[in-house]
A and B are shown apart, each in its own frame.
Chain A
Amino acid sequence: MRSTRVTPDARIDITREVCPMTFVRTRIALERLPVGAVLEVRLKGDEPVRNVPGSARDLGHTVLGLEPLEDGTWRLLLRREGTGC
């Protein structure tokens, strides 16, 4: 899944966080954005890569892309939706 062309409205880095703070940070960052805005989340490790996109989708937000970067971290793009909690 690639979508490098999207320009995010906000960025967070959760590479130093562990569960559950990985998604807590992501959720709060999404909630603070207006509907339709795009959030870039930098994450690291299997657990957040597996769980954060799914948890965001469960709350109604849209996963625009997830791609590995050269430094071993991942770049996740999420769009804040109005239905998202």
Chain B
Amino acid sequence: MLTEPQIQRYARQVLLRDVGERGQEALGAVEVELQLGGAVAEAAATYLRAGGTAVRCTSAADGAWAPTAALLSESSAAGRLSVVAAPATPERAGLVVGSTAGGHVLWSVGAEGCRACLRRLAAALAPPESTDPASVQLGSVLALLVQRRALGLGAPLEGVEVSRTGVLGTVTAAPCTHRPPLVPDGVLGELIRHLAGTLPDEGCAVLVGREDRVRVVPMHNAQAAHHARDPAAFPRTARTAFSFDPRAWLAVLRDTDRAGERVLAIAHSHPEGASGLSAEDRRQAAPDGQPLWPGVAYLVVAFEGGRPRSGRWAVWADGDFLETACPLPEAT
């Protein structure tokens, strides 16, 4: 609840449709770390502080545009927005400011925005010049984008372009290809039951489907047979490894293609192992640093004492697997 002095001070901001008392409280609850220097940071800090937002400048003392490693404490991470100069990207929610041939671009990212997309966008930008004549305008746009983020108004990833002549425009990121597929709990439950049924061996399966419909194709772990036939080439048993039977795998590819579906993910279990891809999993999935199946995600379900403990997605993005948690349904 705003105090009387706060109501008096932020009256005109409280009037704005998207602000109100709750919005003003949100602006006051967030802490902005400007890992920038120069006039842009000065202008942004002035606007933000006037709007009731705490700002901390952590740029180099000489005002250069160098990002610094200084970060606020984890305890304030929830209400923290970081602003950094390209090609760096903020740790969590925040903004990237960079230059292009035509002017400047500011990318604003929420906690749910794709980090891989942001890294790619930021890599295409140069750090802006601290002496740029557009600095004050850039700082005001930056402050506005930070406020939008604090108010929960921004899209997960949104951009604004400021041309050399000061013209503002929105820029759109390419559709994200780094998201794991959306799998309904019922389908995840079916997958987990299959994986539990193969314990103590590793279990494996394929998730196939279209946008609106995902299904599980349980697969037989052929590792035991491979190991029995050629232990030198396949030193691991099914307890610590999985592999598809090539014919079964080809059949899945053929059937999904015929049905107008595609392979969304390859899933397997770690019977008593850590969640996430192991070093061996990574080698198998991306031999020579290139993904074997581009566009196919990986899901690892870790078991402990015969019960599913955690799930983790891995999606290939810019030369490495990007891992995110896969919440498991309650009933499993």
Q: Which residues of A contact B (CB under 8 A)?
A: 20-21, 23-24, 27-28, 31-32, 58-59, 85
B side interface size, CB within 8 A: 12
Cβ contacts B104-120/A at 8 Å (1 or 0 each): 00000000000000000
Question: How would you classify the secondary structure of chain A's contact residues: helix, strand, loop or mixed?
Answer: helix
Cβ contacts B1-24/A at 8 Å (1 or 0 each): 110000100011011011011100
Residues of A within 8 A of B12 (CB): 20
A28-B2, A31-B22 given; A85·B7 CB < 8 A:
no
Q: Which of B2, B14, B18 has the most CB of A within 10 A?
A: B14
Residues of B within 8 A of A21 (CB): 11
- 6 A-B pairs with the lowest CB-CB distances in the bound complex, closest first: A24-B11, A28-B21, A31-B21, A85-B20, A24-B14, A31-B20
Residues of A within 8 A of B20 (CB): 27-28, 31, 85
Residues of A within 8 A of B14 (CB): 24, 27-28
Query: In the complex, what's the smallest C-beta–C-beta distance from B274 to chain A, in angstroms?
Result: 45
A31-B22, A32-B1 given; A20·B11 CB < 8 A:
yes
> What's the Cα separation between A20 and B2 when bound, in Å?
17
Cβ contacts B208-230/A at 8 Å (1 or 0 each): 00000000000000000000000
Residues of A within 8 A of B17 (CB): 58-59, 85
> What's the Cα separation between A31 and B15 when bound, in Å?
12
> What's the Cα separation between A1 and B28 when bound, in Å?
40
A23 touches which of B2, B7, B15 (Cβ 8 Å): B15
